Amino acid sequence: MRMKELPADFKRALPVLKEIEQAGYEAYFVGGSVRDHILGLPIHDVDIATSAYPEEIKEIFKHTVDTGIQHGTVTVLFGGSSYEITTFRTESGYQDYRRPDEVTFVRSLEDDLKRRDFTINALALDRNGEVIDKFDGLKDLNNHLIRAVGKAEERFNEDALRMMRAVRFQSQLNFRIEDKTAEAIKSNAHLLEKIAVERTREEFIKMMLGQAWQIGFSDFLRFKLCEFAPGMREHSTLLHKLIELKPVEFLDEDSVWVAIGFALKLSDHDLNKLLRVWKVSNKTRETSLATYEMLELFSNQNFDIWEIYNLGIDNFERAAKLCQLFSIKMEYDKISKSIEQIPIKSSHDLAITGNDLIKILNITPGPEIGKMLKNVEKAVVEENVCNNFDELKVYVLSNR
């Protein structure tokens, strides 16, 4: 297969390939960028593979950085851009089921492509637009199939995270996992426990944010990967509820965790515990818990504008989207309008400060100041008083 027109990202990198070839070596675009261009999707990263060894690349280009030289990767700074260039390699020995114990640099493109995870990712593209396809990746792309390169059992024993990548690609591309690859995932699902939580979480969230997340999540459950993911083994039955919901896409990672907590009917405490087990960031954990509480308020149809404000008005759209997912009725337009009319976005917007209260009331600093400011903030949010200094001063004096 020959591409009629290379995308702009590839065109900008063509001089790099040309320099390598003029030095007597092979160089190709490889991996996800080739796959995505064929599928008509945006390209995120341009990866280049070459028969030149790292030291040879450093001789060809003046400006380089040893970003992962032990694995054959050198970053080349060229024409105002940076490109990661990796030497063709083979790998062996995967005692931790993630990283190879030994990397051997080779001159063969086919040997390099042979170590890749799936056929759709084992494609190479030369600078003339010719696609090199050694493992029927183009056929699998056309058939919307995710198939392991070679023996699936071997690929997943080399790197157990590839099982999560399979369901992630399934979700992002709306593809089907080929039968032998699927069977190998089922047989090796237990190896997921060998993988660092952070790496599993990254693939899990990418899967859940995909266009066909319910398909990917369905196989995440069907292949028993959920039983070896942090904190999910005892919840596999309830997690099936998510598959039956409306096909609503998640806005962000926070939405994913809130949906999981709501489907499992977790308490705030238990959701917090689950988030800690998955080692999410503090910011994600705080936002998720606030959105979760807001969703519960909407579900119970018992809330006021002060509660929404306290849980963070920035979380409203996320909670509203999750209401769609769980078929929770809410007066979106009415609530949205009420939120727009809130005079302040946070306590920092108040026209009066704690120091002002001390002077106005002639009192000493203490916890009472914080309580008074909170009362003033609530009064402003509920539009019982205007947010200007003079009116707030009168309000404070009349409510001391």
Residues belonging to the binding site for Mg(2+) are 45, 47
Helix/strand/coil percent split, the chain, to 5: 55, 10, 30
Q: Is 48 helix (H, G, I), strand (E, B) or coil?
A: strand
Q: Of 225, 235, 177, give the one whose Cα is nearest residue 200.
A: 225
Sheet containing strand 123-125, strands side by side:
64-68, 73-78, 81-87, 47-50, 27-30, 123-125, 131-133
Name the DSSP class of 153. H
Name the DSSP class of 75. E
Alpha-carbon gap, residue 131 to 109, rounded angstroms: 13
Query: What are the strands, taking DSSP E only, across the chain?
Result: 27-30, 47-50, 64-68, 73-78, 81-87, 89-92, 102-105, 123-125, 131-133, 145-146, 176-177
- Residue pair 128/146 in contact by the 8 Å Cβ criterion: no
- Residue pair 229/235 in contact by the 8 Å Cβ criterion: no
Other C-beta atoms lying within 10 Å of the C-beta of residue 248: 17
Per the annotation, binding residues for CTP are 32, 35, 116, 159, 162, 165, 168
User: Could you report how far apart the first and last alpha carbons of the chain are, in Å?
Assistant: 80
Q: What are phi and psi of 78, to 5 degrees?
A: -150, 130
Helix (H) or strand (E) holding 161: helix 161-173
Alpha-carbon gap, residue 127 to 116, rounded angstroms: 21
Between CA 44 and CA 126, with CA 68 as vertex, the angle to 5 degrees is 50
Query: What is the sign, positive or negative, of the torsion defined by CA atoms of 263, 264, 269, 272?
Result: negative
Per the annotation, binding residues are 32, 35, 45, 47, 116, 159, 162, 165, 168
Q: What are phi and psi of 5, to 5 degrees?
A: -140, 125
